[in-house]
Chains A and B, each alone.
Chain A
Amino acid sequence: MIIDITRCNYAPGYLPKATQGFFNPFFAGANVAFRREAIRQTGGFDPNCQTGEDVDISIRVSRADWELWYEPEAVVNHQDPHTFRQLLRQWFGYGLGHAYVYKKHVGSPRLQVYWPGGKAGDSRPYGARCLMDLPFPFYGVVFLSAYHLLHLALLGLMIGVLAHYTVAGIVAGLVALAAGINYATIRFNRRRPLLLARHAWAALRGRYRVRDWRIAGRPTRACVVPPSDADALRAKRRASARIAIACARSARRRGQGAHERASNGAGAAGSSSCAIAPVRSS
C-alpha cells in the first residue's frame, strides 16, 4: 500500500478507488469536504492517529463505496514552514503518523519499495513503479524519489514502525537498505553526484532549474524548460568531443585489423574510413 504523500499526479475528477496493496489517494485535511452521510458511515476521524488522520479517513470513505473527487480549481494557499525546526517537525511527524495508518490498512505484512515518477494523466495511478514487493515480518514502505523532504518522512516512518513493532534489527536493516538504495541512486545518476547540494544551492540562489531533474537518466515531467544558450553550446561541444573520440577509436581498431589481415598495403583504408568528421570546437 502506498500513501501518496507526493500527490504529484492527481488528475481532475474521480480518483481511483483505494485498494489494498496499491495506491491510496487521499485529501489533505487542509482542503477537503465531506458529505455528512459519508462521515457518519465511517465514524469520523480515528483518534489514534497522530498525523495522517486525513489519509485514514480518505481510505475509509473510499472503501465504504463513496467516490473521491479531485477539484483542482478549489484552491487553498498554505503557508510554508518558516524555520527548519518547523519543517523537520512537520515531515518527520508525517512519517511517524503514517506508520500507524500502514499498520491499520495493509492486509498482510509486506515490504514494498516504490519509485514515484511519471507524467500527469498517466494511465497508471501517479506513474509510480513498485520496485520490490516482499512478504516481511512487518509493514513497511520505502518510497524513493528525488523528493528530499520525503526522506525526512521516511526517517519518521522508520521510527514509527519501531515504536509499533519493536523489531529494532529489522528497522535498522531497512534504514540501511534505504540509505544504500539512495546512495546507489545518486551514484547511478552520475551527472548529478550531489543532488541534495545542488538542490539546496538552487534554492539558495532563488533560481530553481527544474530541468536539472532527471531521475535515473529519465527526463521527468519538469524537463520542459529549454536549455540556455550556454548549456546548448556546452552540450554541442561534449557531443562533438564524443564523436571525435569514437572516430579515433574506430580508426585505430580498423588500423589494427588491417595490420592483422595483411601486413602492408591495406593500411590506407583506416585513415579515411571515419564517416563523421570530428567537429572542432573553438
Chain B
Amino acid sequence: MPSEPRLTTSIVVITKDRPQLIGELFEALTVQTLAPDEVVVIDNNSASSYADVFNAYRTRLPLRTFVELTPGIPAARNRGIQEARHEIILFTDDDCVPQPRWLEKMVEPFYRDPRIGAVGGRTTYYGATGTLVERYYRADRQAVEG
C-alpha cells in the first residue's frame, strides 16, 4: 500500500497438550491472503507429541518450533517474542481458527499510523460439539455483544 518498507510478520502460537486442535489453525494459516513470514510455535512442555502435525505442515508453512519448560502463558509468550524475528508480532491460540483475511487486516493499521503499538481483532465463537455448555456460553456472549 504505501512506499514504506514492507512490515514483516511473525505469528506466535503457544500450545500445551492440544496437537489435535492445532492442525486446524495451521490449515487456516496456509490459506491467508497475506502469507506470514514465520510461524513460531511454543510448546509449553506438553506431555503429548506434536511431531506428526509439525512434520505435516513444515513444508507448507514457515514453521519454527520451540519447547519452553517454564510453565505458564506469560513465559511461553515471552519465549515467542524472543524467538520471533520480524517487525510485527501476532499472537493467536491453538484453539483458534483465523479467517483468511485475518493477517492482512491485522497488519494494515500498522502502516496507517506509526504510533499504533497494538492491533486487536474481533473474536467470534463456535461450538465444535454442540453441547449445552457451548450453547449457553455463546448465548451469554451474544447477550452482551449483540
Instruction: Give A contacts to B, CB under 8 Å.
Output: 6-8, 10, 26-39, 44-51, 53, 58, 61-62, 64-84, 86-87, 116, 120, 145-149, 199-200, 202-204, 206, 208, 210, 213, 221-222
Contacts and interface: CB of A to CB of B under 8 A. Distances in A.
B15 to A, nearest CB: 12
Contacts of A73: 101, 105, 121-122
Contact of A35 (B87, B124, B133, B140): B87
B91 A33 contact: yes
B129 interface: yes
Contact of B105 (A64, A71, A77): A71
A62 to B, nearest CB: 8
Interface string B5-30: 00001000000000001000000000
Ranked nearest first, the 7 interchain pairs of A and B with the lowest CB-CB distance are A66-B117, A27-B120, A74-B121, A38-B117, A74-B105, A45-B74, A80-B134
Contacts of B137: 80-81, 87, 149
A152 B98 CA distance: 28
A204 B142 contact: no
A87 B9 CA distance: 32
B143 interface: yes
Contacts of A58: 118, 120
B78 A47 contact: yes
B131 A47 contact: no
A12 B99 CA distance: 18
Contacts of A50: 72-73
Given A45-B77, A53-B77, A81-B133, A39 B120 contact: no
27 contacts: A8-B144, A31-B123, A32-B119, A34-B89, A34-B118, A47-B75, A67-B117, A69-B116, A69-B120, A71-B108, A71-B109, A71-B121, A74-B98, A74-B122, A75-B98, A76-B92, A77-B98, A77-B123, A79-B125, A79-B126, A79-B127, A80-B127, A80-B134, A82-B131, A87-B133, A199-B140, A203-B132
B54 interface: no
B140 to A, nearest CB: 5
B140 A149 contact: yes
Interface string B86-103: 111111110111110111
Residue among A39, A47, A76, A83 with max Cβ neighbours from chain B (10 Å):
A76
B57 to A, nearest CB: 18
B81 to A, nearest CB: 5
Nearest to A116: B144
A32 B105 contact: no
Residue among B75, B86, B101, B116 with max Cβ neighbours from chain A (10 Å):
B116
Nearest to A10: B120
Contact of B73 (A29, A61, A86): A29
A30 B123 contact: yes
Contacts of A32: 90-91, 118-121
B90 A77 contact: no
B123 to A, nearest CB: 5
B52 interface: no
Given A35-B88, A46-B74, A77-B96, A82 B118 contact: no
Given A44-B77, A83-B133, A27 B118 contact: yes
Contacts of B129: 82
A77 B89 contact: no
B105 A200 contact: no
A147 B140 contact: yes
A81 to B, nearest CB: 6
Contact of A36 (B89, B109, B113, B127): B89
